[in-house]
Amino acid sequence: MRGTLSLSVIVILLLPIVASADWVMISLESAVNSSDLIVIGTLRNVSEETRKGFDYGMGEIKIDEVLSGNAEPGQTLSLVWKNESDIMCPRVEHRGNQNQQLIWLLKLKPGNKVAADNPGRVAPIEKKDTVLELLRKRETSNKSLDASGGSLSPRDPGLIP
């Protein structure tokens, strides 16, 4: 009885911590399947500021290569992110990704901005072959759905090698 009571108290104490975690790191496959734009590029000019209880970050991704989506090599994308100031975890932070060539699995945002709103939306360059394979799989799946009368259609079929 005493052990059950102790366990119950621990669970109750940990519940707010677990409940505050709005997301978990998504898999590479999930990131590929839900991305609007996938590029290889380098993040530069990162800046951060705090306003009204939120931490805002922004930077520029210089595109080296487009794996999927509507963008061009040499183009610069405006990356944005936001966290509540009082929350330590989970947080999206990209300052540590600055000046590294990485794979960015992006979501389009209003105002010509993009977001990598989960740590799983940034991958090392060594994962390029895996990302390309997942893109081929996504395209095959979308084409199959389209041919069978499904509502999905292929995305940017000319950009996937």
Q: Looking at residue 148, what is its pLDDT?
A: 58
Count of domains observed in the chain: 1
Q: Is the dihedral of CA 44, 77, 93, 39 positive or negative?
A: negative
CATH code of residue 87: 2.40.50.120
Residues 160, 139 contacting (CB under 8 angstroms): yes
Q: 30-70 pLDDT, tens per residue?
A: 999 999 999 999 999 998 888 898 888 899 999 999 999 99
Separation CA 121–CA 26 (nearest Å): 8
Domain assignment present for residue 115? The answer is: yes
Domain of 109, in residue numbers = 25-126
Q: 132-160 pLDDT, tens per residue?
A: 999 999 888 777 666 656 544 444 433 33
How would DSSP label each residue in 13-45? Answer: HHHHHHHH----PPPHHHHHHH-SEEEEEEEEE
Is pTM, for the whole model, over 0.75? no
Q: 78-135 pLDDT, tens per residue?
A: 999 877 777 666 667 767 789 999 999 999 999 999 999 888 999 999 999 999 999 9
